[in-house]
Amino acid sequence: MRRQIPNFITLLNLLSGCVAVLYAVVNQLEMAALFVALGIFFDFFDGLAARMLHVESPLGVQLDSLADMVTSGLVPGLVMYQLIVQAADWESFGCVGFQIYPLALIGFAITLGSAYRLAKFNIDESQKDGFIGLPTPANTAWILSLPLILATTGMMWLQNLLTNQWFLIGCSLLSAYIMNANIPLFALKFKEWGWGKNKARYLFVIGALVMIAVLQFVAIPIIIFGYVLLSVLAKEKF
């Protein structure tokens, strides 16, 4: 029974992603973001639970990636598709009651990039203590922050930017690239709770929480790209 606890947490991540898909399909992007955040929460703790209970397994690794493919792969691609559709009056095709916007399908570059990144991660022995390329949950946090910023910000220049179709298409392509780029990044998952080996991680998390308290959702993209920059500047220190 103990061996199944981490797998159960992983399945809660998958369930959260499924609910997020339902909300994203009907264009309720804020609710989709809420359930993705819940899924990422479960994704953070399933591996920690496996290590603490000493029940890590190949099944858990594969299950984790399958769950992430929905929560951190399909959902952000679908959300970006919806954002691009809203941003411009695209030509569409389809039958009565169902339309597809071909150029907006570029948003699913995020989903394709996520699939490639997750598959590569599962067979890459060099990513045991860190990452090569932006992890899919971090990438998803960035993408899902966009509709939240759009819904809450009063800054017109930011609203104009986030409703510009070319900016959103650029974000989609950048997202697919940065997940698979050869950039070493430190892992934020804690193997233990002690301060000594996790000082930099704790400082990063505390700094991120302060930024969110001050800047709210606007802080999320800043934190994600700050994470990439910090990893590049101080790789081996983590």
73-122 pLDDT, tens digit per residue, is: 999 999 999 999 999 766 656 555 567 888 899 999 999 999 999 999 88
Tell me how far apart the alpha carbons of residues 87 and 81 are, in angstroms, rounded to a whole number: 10
User: Under a CB-based contact definition with an 8 Å cutoff, are residues 14 and 70 in contact?
Assistant: yes
Residue 238: the pLDDT is: 47
Every domain of the chain and the residues it spans: 2-189
H helix runs in the chain, sequence order: 5-25, 29-53, 58-69, 75-87, 109-123, 136-152, 156-162, 165-180, 199-215, 219-233
Write out pLDDT tens, residues 160-216. 999 999 999 999 999 999 999 998 887 766 566 666 666 777 788 888 899 999 999
Cα→Cα distances 225→19, 58, 78, Å: 28, 31, 22
Tell me how far apart the alpha carbons of residues 223 and 227 are, in angstroms, rounded to a whole number: 6
The domain made up of 2-189 has a fold known as: Four Helix Bundle (Hemerythrin (Met), subunit A) (1.20.120)
pTM of this prediction exceeds 0.85: yes
pLDDT higher than threshold 50 for residue 236: no
Nearest to 177 by CA among 127, 112, 85: 112
CB atoms within 10 A of CB 226: 15
Q: At what angle do helices 29-53 and 136-152 cross, to 10 degrees?
A: 150
Write out pLDDT tens, residues 113-124. 999 999 998 887
Tell me how far apart the alpha carbons of residues 147 and 20 are, in angstroms, rounded to a whole number: 14
